[in-house]
Amino acid sequence: MDERYTPVLSDEERAALRAQRAKRRRAAQQARRRRQLRQLLPVGALLLILTCLLAGWASHRAKEEPEPEAEVPAALVFEETAPPEPEPLWTPAASADTVLLDDALPSAYAVVIDRSSGSILAEKDSEAVISPASMTKIMTLLVAVENLKSLDDTVPITIDITDYCFVNDCSVVGYELNESATVRELLYGTILPSGADAALALAIYIAGSHEAFVELMNEKAEELGIAETTHFTNCVGLYDEAHHCTVRDMAVILNAAMENELCREVLDARTYETAPTPEHPEGQILSNWFLRRIEDKDTGDVEVIGAKTGYVMQSGNCAASCGRDSDGNEYICVTGNAYSSWRAIYDHVELYKTYCN
């Protein structure tokens, strides 16, 4: 030891501090044992062992000189709180009242669900695995909205985006190479005209790459409890054997999107006008074909308040929509493999009128 060092504590004070430290260590060990015992033993055995431990501790303490208890500042006292309960999954379920649809409904796959209860009102092969085509973009919208930074950020349309759309013959908004659009416009462009250019621009903006964004989509599917039958390989809906879901899964995705205020706003828009750009000096008017054509059809007491269509050769014409009756009750309707886009609309008209009124 340095001979110039002057001890701050006496031997007695140092011994007292060591004793206090040992006491705190014993208390922490006992608390840890109690937590472990609570996890491993039935309640009765736990109480018995705790009683023995406390008796031994009290006996040991009685043999020691009583020491003043150090007062713990209130700011350092922490209460253990249980983690919040996870939100229950919205899981559609059939019942004895569920109507099993037959070939009178032209679409090969269908499901109609009461949103408030999750009860399936009618279905047709709703658990068959299909290609979701551009209904995929509902998940693209949901993941983008849940991860976006600012609606006013501008995103460029790069050559990898335009090339992807050209090579795969995708439906597009019609952005030119190097044209920029706000994130808000890209959300509407993804849904209303089913623009692959808008969806890809969102994916790259959100996650840095298309591939990284698809990972987020599959994580969301797992979060929604549909990962066993739902998997995505792209954000636009191109056919791929590994890109699939069921109409019941798509109903779960649409339900989650309708719970989000911004997603709901986008899915319910009939038209949207983009801001002028050098490439489009007058802007562009985007339109949701399905909503504009179903709004004057006889759906009974139900107004359709959100929708997205899809088509690839392997899936036929698909559609996912949400309807609301005059009492405020809401329904999800998803169909797949209709023989035409108009047939998909009329199948939704028939399902709403028959099972949601």
The token duo for 139 is 């998940």
Confirm if 206 and 147 have CB atoms less than 8 A apart: yes
If you write DSSP's letter for every residue of 38-93 in order, what string do you get?
Answer: HHHS-HHHHHHHHHHHHHHHHHHHHHSPP-PPPPPPGGG-----PPPPPPPP---B
Note if 137 is an active site residue.
Answer: yes
Closest CA relative to residue 258, chosen from 86, 51, 90 = 90
Note if 134 is an active site residue.
Answer: yes
Residue 236: partners with Cβ closer than 8 Å, 6 or more residues away: 134, 136, 137, 140, 168, 170, 196, 199, 200
Confirm if 165 and 294 have CB atoms less than 8 A apart: no
Catalytic residue among 126, 171, 194, 315: 194
Note if 63 is an active site residue.
Answer: no
Alpha carbon 37 to chain centroid distance?
37
Residue 81: partners with Cβ closer than 8 Å, 6 or more residues away: none
Residue 344: partners with Cβ closer than 8 Å, 6 or more residues away: 107, 290, 309, 317, 318, 319, 335, 338
Catalytic residue among 137, 171, 308, 321: 137
Question: What is the DSSP secondary structure assignment for residue 175, as one 8-state letter?
Answer: P
Q: What angle do CA 31, 37, 42 make, to 5 degrees?
A: 145
If you write DSSP's letter for every residue of 316-337 in order, what string do you get?
Answer: EEEEEEEEEETTS-EEEEEEEE
Catalytic residue among 131, 134, 171, 321: 134
Alpha carbon distance 259, 319 (integer Å): 19
Question: Which residue(s) pair with 155 in the sheet?
Answer: 181
Positions annotated as catalytic residues are: 134, 137, 194
